[in-house]
């Protein structure tokens, strides 16, 4: 499943919106100065840097010393360490996701193009079994051009099997599935009810504020400037500002309402079936060739955002710069619907990426069960044997992966684990909350953290938006990995992983609020293997020094 929309402080905001807003106390009037001779002026000192109150655009590439946010220092690395150097090669990154906008002005020149395939001739020119796979392949589409958009959750599919009396794969119990299904249903229902409450509050507040402000375009500034003794205006103003302080916008609520309504309608529906669209023999785990060439699909928002973090055009004064741009090409492999991906599709997506020359595979998706894990394990081993680096998002449930599952995983059934795999948690731009509040974590399960809160990147239609999630943190690491591979061609996947982890900026002893439910502060070092945040400048330095 792709990154779910993150709604920070939802319960707290709801409580605040439900209560009667208090009129803010009047600002104190300063006392008049004493009637004495003024003191001599103090020696001039530099003014302190202004406090950063919102995420700077593209902070994921910024530097803590230069910019005041704990980004990856990628801009500094390119400017100070790689200036005058020529990359030795262009790196192919496979983005296994929900689709990418192939027409986006900041991405179209960064898309991988199959050199042996003639576009649109209806033939398999390169003989790889996939007809017209010019930009990649779509494993959740049919030969007739139809595509899967919404999909059920894996726990729902397993729950349906239990209800039908079917046998589950070894290691998965119907009792556990039933508990997880009910938990997920309760979570979705509760969240949807909360979103509906906030939506109703906004339906009340926005017209009132537009009338009071005399404009249809509301901003924090013009809402704060509204002065009125009317109770409805004061209440509307309080609602708007409280939501804004929690990072909740009308647009976010509209998107969240649509997303969670779809989860209730499709994700939790045991009768919902999509495989007839694909038309494969789903039971055949060895089947490789099915799907279609439509790498954009019906909803390319998530994949387009992921791709831009890695490869958006550099230096064109549009949006933001991709971390590895311009020495990277994005191979799009569509396997992730709005719902939970299927193991067979994930396995085939990894194999397609490897067979068609990807050096890195970005996987910004995950789910709580993997009933055909043996298929994914075999594909991961296939990638390992061919020296491909796999980078995976840790997930957005605020859970400890030492206890909870998030698949796919580097740990193989029966023992052993993938070596060329990096598991990524999401870090924050705020100094007082370094770990993203939603990020999964795990002292042996998550390798490193990377920027994943308020990440600006490309979205379909030529635009740019900020999004949250470990889905954003994984491509940050992918971008830094591709940057290293482009300039240092002697580095293999194992070298790149080692450099990225060893060079990460260590915050091991820093006390942070743990992700998930409110709890006492913990050391950041307990949340991952390294206790670090990935850093391009330090990684490039290490590579330059031959370490």
**Grouped pLDDT means (10 residues each) for the chain, 547 residues:** 55 42 34 41 48 88 96 98 96 98 97 96 96 98 98 98 95 96 96 95 96 94 95 96 89 92 97 97 97 98 98 95 98 98 98 98 98 98 98 97 97 96 97 91 98 97 96 98 98 98 97 93 97 98 93
Parallel, antiparallel or unpaired: strands 91-97 and 328-334? parallel
Closest CA to 161 of 270, 269, 266: 270
3-class DSSP assignment, residue 489: coil
The rounded distance, in Å, linking the Cα atoms of 365 and 358 is: 18
Domains of the chain by range and CATH?
87-147+282-532 (3.40.50.200), 152-273 (no CATH)
Pairing of strands 463-467, 505-506: unpaired
Q: Which of 241, 352, 301, 291 lies closest to 471, judged by CA? A: 301
Q: Phi and psi dihedrals of 264, rounded to 5?
A: -70, -40
Task: State the pLDDT at residue 52.
Answer: 80
- Give the pLDDT score at 5: 54
Please state, as a whole number, how many other Cβ atoms lie within 10 Å of the Cβ of residue 269: 16
pLDDT of residue 6: 53
Burial 7-24 (b: 16+ CB within 10 A, else e): bbbbeebbebbeeebeee
pTM of the model: 0.90
- The per-residue pLDDT for 3 is 53
- Rounded-to-integer distance, Cα 422 and Cα 494, Å: 10
Q: Rounded to 5 degrees, what are φ and ψ at 148?
A: -75, 130
- For residue 173, the model assigns a pLDDT of 96
Instruction: Record the tokens describing residue 309, joined without a space.
Output: 């973090």
């Amino acid at each position: 499943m792709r990154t779910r929309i993150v709604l920070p402080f939802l319960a707290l905001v709801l409580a605040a919106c439900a209560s009667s807003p208090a009129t803010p106390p009047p600002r104190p009037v300063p006392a008049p100065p004493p009637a004495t001779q003024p003191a001599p002026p103090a020696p001039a000192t530099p003014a302190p840097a202004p406090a950063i109150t919102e995420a700077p655009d593209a902070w994921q590439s910024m530097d803590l010393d230069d910019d005041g946010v704990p980004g990856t220092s990628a801009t500094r690395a390119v400017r100070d360490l790689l200036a005058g150097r020529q990359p030795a090669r262009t790196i192919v990154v496979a983005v296994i996701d929900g689709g990418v906008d192939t027409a986006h002005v900041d991405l179209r020149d960064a898309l991988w193009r199959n050199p042996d395939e003639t576009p649109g001739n209806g033939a398999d020119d390169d003989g790889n079994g996939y007809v017209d796979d010019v930009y990649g392949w779509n494993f959740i589409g049919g030969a007739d051009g139809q595509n899967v958009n919404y999909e059920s959750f894996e726990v729902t599919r397993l729950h349906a099997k239990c209800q039908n009396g079917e046998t589950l794969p070894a290691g998965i119990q119907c009792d556990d599935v039933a508990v997880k299904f009910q938990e997920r249903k309760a979570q979705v229902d509760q969240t949807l009810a909360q979103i509906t409450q906030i939506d109703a509050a906004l339906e009340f507040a926005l017209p009132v504020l537009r009338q009071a402000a005399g404009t249809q375009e509301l901003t924090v500034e013009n809402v704060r400037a509204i002065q009125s003794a009317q109770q409805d205006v004061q209440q509307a103003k309080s609602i708007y500002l409280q939501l804004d302080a929690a990072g909740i916008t009308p647009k976010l609520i509209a998107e969240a309402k649509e997303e969670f309504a779809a989860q209730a309608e499709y994700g939790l529906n045991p009768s919902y079936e999509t495989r007839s669209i694909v038309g494969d023999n789903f039971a055949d785990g060895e089947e490789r060739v099915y799907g279609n060439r439509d790498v954009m699909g019906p909803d390319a928002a998530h994949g387009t955002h992921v791709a831009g973090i890695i490869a958006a055009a550099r230096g064109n004064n549009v949006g933001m710069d991709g971390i590895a741009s311009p020495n990277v090409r994005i191979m799009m492999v569509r396997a992730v619907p709005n719902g939970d991906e299927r193991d067979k599709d994930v396995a085939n997506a990894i194999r397609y990426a490897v067979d068609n020359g990807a050096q890195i595979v970005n996987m910004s998706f995950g789910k709580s069960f993997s009933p055909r894990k043996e298929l994914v394990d075999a594909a991961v081993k296939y990638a390992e044997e061919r020296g491909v680096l796999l980078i995976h998002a840790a997930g957005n449930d605020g859970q400890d992966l030492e206890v909870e599952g998030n698949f796919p995983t580097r740990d193989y059934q029966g023992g052993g684990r993938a070596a060329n795999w990096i598991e990524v948690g999401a870090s924050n731009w705020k100094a007082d909350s370094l770990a993203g509040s939603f990020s999964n974590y795990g002292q042996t399960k998550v390798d490193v953290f990377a920027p994943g809160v308020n990440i600006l990147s490309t979205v379909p239609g030529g635009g740019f938006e900020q999004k949250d999630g470990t889905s954003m943190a994984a491509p940050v690491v992918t971008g830094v990995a591709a940057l290293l591979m482009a300039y240092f061609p002697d580095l293999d996947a194992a070298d790149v992983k080692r450099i990225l982890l060893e060079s990460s900026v260590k915050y091991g002893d820093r006390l942070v609020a743990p992700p998930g439910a409110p709890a006492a502060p913990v050391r950041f070092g307990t949340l991952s293997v390294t206790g670090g945040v990935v850093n391009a400048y330090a990684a490039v330095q290490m590579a330059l020094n031959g370490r």
